[in-house]
Structure 1
């Protein structure tokens, strides 16, 4: 292959700005087809984004001879089946997070990719952004010494009844479709960063409960990880606090200083050393997935390593399960 010609399965909200336009802005890449079960919406998306083809059937897109790579952007419950179909058609896959419903399903996807000799990447796109790579550099260069532990606190206000009725939110709190509640939608980004920063986990355990009983999924999760290098992680997620108590902060403490930052809000790193605080600021890219998509395209064209492998994605699913499964 000299050019990656993408087909998107599930051209919903995440593809409007975060990812979709980037496929045409990356070198040796173009978006040639999109699919959505609602054909009218697929046609509308194709028209607005100048995509040559649209479908209301996923298999028709997968089998399109003009498509040589598949981006799966549907809810998690269909990720495995679409990925396996793409592999059987001889096409590599870039799949949205969470990778799938659970660790077992993730391992099936990795196994299928290996058995068909197909490439698999997971859309943990923060790995590609300069902001998060600066944090990794600070860690790797031991600017704050040897890392001792990381604390993460993520609190969000409860969804309103009106918000819960929106199609884009309903599936996120349906465990049969999403794998769990809002934790499964958002925590993969955070846990993948911890894995990206610190490596393999040696131990992971947590607890998940439904405190508000507002919907049929857990809305509070606490978890601990001991990484193989001895670094400790503590995380707490709550999705039923007041607006005034919302929080998004991760603190990484080393032997010679610390850093704190937000995963979803302003891209500022607070570097604390020797009694002073330095603020390092970044501007998010217009299309937040574009830096990772560039690396995925290079990987699919045999020009670079896998930037976010299926095995990495499976490890994140393992952590999600460890935190939420009895």
Structure 2
């Protein structure tokens, strides 16, 4: 029989692996003793070049997925992880000062603030230094820097002011008498300026004035409109500074020396006038006070013009009391002393103020 024609051999088809089978591309580690060596990566199988037979009509192409492995996946699986050496750094421990410095907050430095702080410091030191210098200069100048206006002019008033200005020829005293009665006085005598001696003032008063530096005394004597009473008024000029004058005022007022009979100044008699017989025995009342803010004391001594002696003189403040029944109080000699002293003091203030204004021009 004729032999059947032989069919050409079919192209080999890669065999499909059963489901669930896992293929490991990494060869197992050798269990032999000795140094472990990393085996070389297996060769990637070449892609099949044989084109599979075309399926029957109407059937889709079917190529097994496992037969065509991914090259990148195969390469990553075949390459073992590279071992890197480990390093350890030894950090030295911090010192306490380093820790404090690290933890302390760093303040932002601003140049403007630094300049402002330095300027304030310099100005403050300048003000303090100026104040200290002012105090030192005031002390060295014996209070000259603290003297009120007209203080220096008042020291020279005893020889630079006319007599008729210091002691006017007549004085008016509206309401200056007892019960608010008007009074008037006429000048009958003026004495030349005199030193501060017990014969002019009194021994006790000279002692009190010594720390203030008594310079000169000027005096005048007045009589009232009826010529029954006489008053000697005087101005005592000192070289005291404001501090010494304040101390003297305290001694006369708070210390009570102005009301002591041993501090009562002397009387100025004038022959041929109603004050011809006016002596120490006829002194009935007196006023003694410092002129505020001036280195001057003003005093006035009143008495009877007929030479009537007074055994117990009274200060003007006591003799002006309406409840008093003494002879000086009944005669109004307390009002006479205070009234004349007040008018002379006011005149001195006007003179000093005018001189101060002239000095400022």
> TM-score normalized by structure 2?
0.23
> TM-score normalized by structure 1?
0.25
Larger radius of gyration: 2
Q: Which one scores higher on RCO, CA 8 angstroms, separation ≥ 6?
A: 1
More strand per residue: 1 or 2? 1
